[in-house]
Amino acid sequence: MQKREKIYEGKAKIIYTTDDADLLIQYFKDDASAFDGKKKGSIREKGILNNGISSRIFLYLEEQGIKTHFIKKLSDREMLVRNLKIIPVEVVVRNVIAGSLSKRMGIAEGAPLKDTILEFYYKSDELGDPMLNEDHIRVFELATKEEVEILKDQAQKINDLLLAFLSERGIRLIDFKLEFGTNKDGIFLGDEITPDGCRLWDKETNEKMDKDRFRRDLGKIEESYQEVSRRICES
């Protein structure tokens, strides 16, 4: 598989074409950012850790019947993925009150939710990924009604699977972001599932094990990513 043209570079990843139009190479960077890019930095070997974590989780989800863009891990920092047309609607799944939900509702972080909350956001770095509702998605034709129903169904299934998978490894899944895309074979889970886009707390101590340690200057950032990697990739 030949890596060819760089077609996209984001905050955490670079995407390259290959000699197969249906396949891309996703490269994981060490760069870190928060607050819509206002805070920037680097987390040592984050790209290596996130590639390993995401590869392991995608493999698990595939085994459970979830269609993902993941084909295989190519190297420490690269994975081979399906070429998808990304749906510009991010799905955020919330199990526990934290982050922006805590601020919006005026409720302390860590309070349990009576039920899982799904939120939609417009995938646009320039606009700061504003929150959407289903009317926005419909009127602005960001996704069809049928696609939205599939996204909601898949998000719930992925949440159920990951809650159990991570709990077995001593990790609480507080909330996380999902991105989906389409090709001729349907809708697939894309992007990544890593401590960059998930809130992960230690099951016993509730210690944060994710990018909030970078956002909030909590220290032990690399150590937390390494511990998540150890628990997920070595079991």
Same domain, 33 and 92: no
Of the residues 54, 82, 110, which one is the last residue of a structural domain? Answer: 82
Q: What is the pLDDT of residues 138-187, one digit of tens each?
A: 999 999 999 999 999 999 999 999 999 999 999 999 999 999 999 999 99
Same domain, 90 and 160: yes
Judge whether residue 91 has pLDDT over 90: yes
Same domain, 133 and 21: no
Model pLDDT, residue 77: 98
Does residue 234 lie in a domain region?
no
Same domain, 56 and 95: no
The CATH number of the domain where 47 resides is what? Answer: 3.30.200.20
Judge whether residue 39 has pLDDT over 90: no
Cα 14 to Cα 171: distance, rounded to the nearest angstrom: 28
Cα 99 to Cα 92: distance, rounded to the nearest angstrom: 12
Same domain, 65 and 97: no
CA distances 172 to 21, 99, 175, Å, are: 38, 15, 9
Of the residues 24, 54, 82, which one is the last residue of a structural domain? Answer: 82
Model pLDDT, residue 129: 94
Same domain, 96 and 72: no
pLDDT band of residue 235 (cuts 50, 70, 90) is confident
pLDDT band of residue 35 (cuts 50, 70, 90) is confident
Q: What is the pLDDT of residues 102-138, one digit of tens each?
A: 999 999 999 989 999 999 999 998 899 999 999 999 9
User: What is the average pLDDT score of the chain?
Assistant: 96
Other C-beta atoms within 10 Å of 214: how many?
23
| Domain hosting residue 124, numbered range | 85-221
pTM tops 0.75, yes or no: yes
Lowest mean pLDDT among 30-34, 35-39, 53-57, 83-87: 35-39
Contact of 93 with 81, CB cutoff 8 Å: no
Does residue 232 lie in a domain region?
no
Of the residues 55, 82, 109, which one is the last residue of a structural domain? Answer: 82
Same domain, 11 and 59: yes
Does residue 233 lie in a domain region?
no
Model pLDDT, residue 110: 96
Q: How many domains would you assign to the chain?
A: 2
Same domain, 182 and 93: yes
Give me the mean pLDDT over the 14-29 stretch. Answer: 97
Same domain, 35 and 97: no
Contact of 176 with 92, CB cutoff 8 Å: yes
The CATH number of the domain where 202 resides is what? Answer: 3.30.470.20
Same domain, 78 and 90: no
pLDDT band of residue 1 (cuts 50, 70, 90) is confident
Does residue 231 lie in a domain region?
no
